[in-house]
Structure 1
């Protein structure tokens, strides 16, 4: 028993400083009804997020496109440590009955992580949620507010935050993403 508690403590320590973790399994928030992938594809800029180690930087954006094989190309870019860093991944619809439930992977060797679109109007704002469950003992929340432009009106950001709060997502660690001084492609 003591070894199990020590193991759990060792798992939690790295998460405590950068991520939003909670006891219990991942929640199951409501996703965008009648999600239309064809309207969602294109460029989205990160407005705010719950922190994750791989999302440090500024000028963060994600571009979604549909490949010929039906998978979704995900191109991620961020400016970090004086350099533009890019990654390309693949997204799939994990549940055909709920097409807003995407899975995203940036490597052939990693499983698809949940990437659920909770709400979007397709033209200005999107709220995305992800969660990693650790043995149903605790989970780590990830959330993003995305915009079709680098800056959203405060009322729109508040609306997006309210969507997350309504679904029980703790926004205490949510931070705004710096989108100033960014170069356009």
Structure 2
């Protein structure tokens, strides 16, 4: 009986974890995604609040391809309260095909979560990214700031995708 219970618990855990690499019903990952163009440094110009980024400003994400085809992710931000830089290093892998903007990223061992690029400028100058649900959202840019007309465009796209844009945080990028 205990073996059956353990098996059931393991299966339940796998189902729960696999749900973290899905996509929200309201978004579709970009296709024709080209990883080499996405690599490099991105500035976080807007995000929904979460404990792992709370209080951080000057947030960047840097992506580099590893020899095995996975992607190293280095997230960095200035902690205003601690007056120190915080950094998290993770690993990302494509969920399906390498030309679809749906990756799974892990900062904690075997636990992965979705990283869904659902809007991307043709020149890879800005991206809208969500997690497995619309409670996770970022506007990333190659520039530290965006012109108002572009920000309005991205906010409109995000709202249409079911993102609560009224709750967005716009971190400083002037350091």
Q: TM-score, with normalisation over the residues of structure 2?
A: 0.79
2:36 aligned with 1:38, yes or no? yes
Runs of 4+ in 1 over 3 A off after TM superposition: none
Task: Check conservation: 1:45, 1:149, Cα contact below 8 A.
Answer: yes
2:87 aligned with 1:74, yes or no? no
State the alpha-carbon separation in 1 of the partners of residues 24 and 128 from structure 2.
Answer: 17
What are the residue-to-residue correspondences of 1:22-101 with 2, within 5 Å?
26-56=24-54, 57-80=56-79, 81-96=82-97, 99-101=100-102
Matched residue, 1:146: 140
Structure 1, unaligned runs of 5 or more: 1-24, 133-139
CA displacement at 1:99 relative to structure 2: 2.1
Matched residue, 2:160: 166
Q: In structure 1, which of residues 146, 156, 162 is the aligned counterpart of residue 150 of structure 2?
A: 156
State the alpha-carbon separation in 1 of the partners of residues 151 and 29 from structure 2.
Answer: 18
Task: Check conservation: 2:33, 2:98, Cα contact below 8 A.
Answer: no
Structure 2, unaligned runs of 5 or more: 1-22
What SS class does the counterpart of residue 54 from structure 1 fall into? coil
Matched residue, 1:114: 114
What SS class does the counterpart of residue 131 from structure 1 fall into? coil
C-alpha offsets along residues 10-66 of structure 1, whole Å, 9 cap, x if unaligned?
xxxxxxxxxxxxxxx942412212111111111000000011111121110000010
Farther-moved stretch of structure 1 (161-170 vs 145-154):
161-170
Q: Between Structure 1 and Structure 2, how many residues are aligned?
A: 149
State the alpha-carbon separation in 1 of the partners of residues 24 and 125 from structure 2.
Answer: 28
What SS class does the counterpart of residue 53 from structure 1 fall into? coil
